[in-house]
Amino acid sequence: MGFLDIDNATKSYGSVEVLHKVDISVEEGEFLVLVGPSGCGKSTLLNMIAGLEDITSGQISIKGAPMNGVHPSKRNIAMVFQSYALYPNMTVGKNITFGLEMHGVPKTERDAAMAKVADMLQIGQLLDRKPGQLSGGQRQRVAMGRALVRDPDVFLFDEPLSNLDAKLRVDMRTEIKKLHQRLGTTIVYVTHDQIEAMTLSTRIAVMNGGYVQQLGTPKEIYDTPANLFVATFMGSPSMNLIDVAIRADGNAVYADTTDDQGRKVSLAFPAPGAALRSFDGKTVKLGIRPEALTDVDGADQRSSHVEQIENTVTVTEPAGSDTFVTTTIGGAECVGRMRSDADVAAGRAATFAINMEKAVAFDPQTEDRIA
């Protein structure tokens, strides 16, 4: 049993089921990120943990105590909202201590707790201001202060960075990560931004259509996505998907496709399993991350299976640190990630190195990963 247990939690509005038997067990000190497109049920799940939405069936428990029907304020949780939800009529100081006041904490203790949090977040000079006088980043800090001061068992974050501009978002992301490392509290964090999910979490639950598609560490999610949805949702630019024919030849298994000149290309899988072998003669979707489709010098030198193909570059997009190169393999438009000084130009041929150690294959019918 974990610290926060979500056990077969289901949510329906009338006859419409929006969350289907979600099962997640979170250990103490974990940073769990719920990620998915809008409408996937991630915020609903967070609200159910908070007690802001009823649990239709199943159970959610914190430290072994079932929380179904328990009022949000009695769950010893704290939440940071997307809009920050700072009380507009109260000063920053009042905002931070309001929860303590509601829980009957004496004023001296409240002030001490506030001072500690203000110090930690460096918002001491803002305590007498109203939220309307603060910048976006300052509001974000105050909202976190309000959550921290309660010293809760579980922190809930509902897309807390989505209202910030790009630079501030990166800064605050680091800030949150530092805070988690320092305090070691349990965090459940909702976002639709897969980079936030990757950078912050110890574990990620990728959600879609009210189902948890995959639950795992960022590395597991990224390297071995459970299905096509997870593969394409996580990672930017998105994973390249090429229709290939599987051909078993003795111990080796090849993915057969064509380059943009119509020439046949055979890519060998490094360690083919029985599952892959059973697709002999059938078509599957081969998934290759952009960084596994690169220039020859940029290819992973430790990889044992790097295949090379000659192909025409259709578009180059220099991004400073890297250059994204578009080409066509097996009829599918693919994006490769090359070193910024790679010698490529649109309309010219270039050599692409494909790292087959990182390649994955999906069953086109079930969309689940085969290998």
Is 98 a binder of other proteins (CB under 8 A)? yes
Select from 15, 16, 64, 69 the one that contacts other proteins (CB under 8 A).
Answer: 69
In the complex, the smallest distance separating the C-beta of residue 103 from other proteins, rounded to whole angstroms, is 5
Taking residues 270 to 299 in sequence order and writing x for each that binds other proteins by CB under 8 A, - otherwise, the string is: ------------------------------
Is 364 a binder of other proteins (CB under 8 A)? no
Segment near other proteins (CB under 8 A); pick from 65-73, 120-128, 253-261, 291-299: 65-73
What string of H, E and C letters represents the secondary structure of 47-104? Answer: HHHHCCCCCCEEEEEECCEECCCCCHHHCCEEEECCCCCCCCCCCHHHHHHHHHHHCC
Is 167 a binder of other proteins (CB under 8 A)? no
What is d(CA 116, CA 122) in angstroms, rounded to the nearest whole number? 10
- CB burial string 229-262: b at 16+ within 10 A, e below: bbbebbbeeebbbbebbbbbeeeebbbebbbbee
Is 211 a binder of other proteins (CB under 8 A)? no
Is 355 within 8 Å of 300 (Cβ atoms)?
Answer: yes
Is 59 a binder of other proteins (CB under 8 A)? no
Is 132 a binder of other proteins (CB under 8 A)? no
Select from 81, 211, 254, 324 the one that contacts other proteins (CB under 8 A).
Answer: 81
Q: Residue 163 or residue 232: which is nearer to other proteins going by CB?
A: 163
Angle at 194 between CA 208 and CA 190, to 5 degrees: 65
Is 18 a binder of other proteins (CB under 8 A)? no
344: phi then psi, degrees, rounded to nearest 5: -130, 150
Residues at the interface with other proteins (CB under 8 A): 47, 50-52, 69-74, 77-79, 81-83, 85-90, 98-99, 102-103, 146, 150
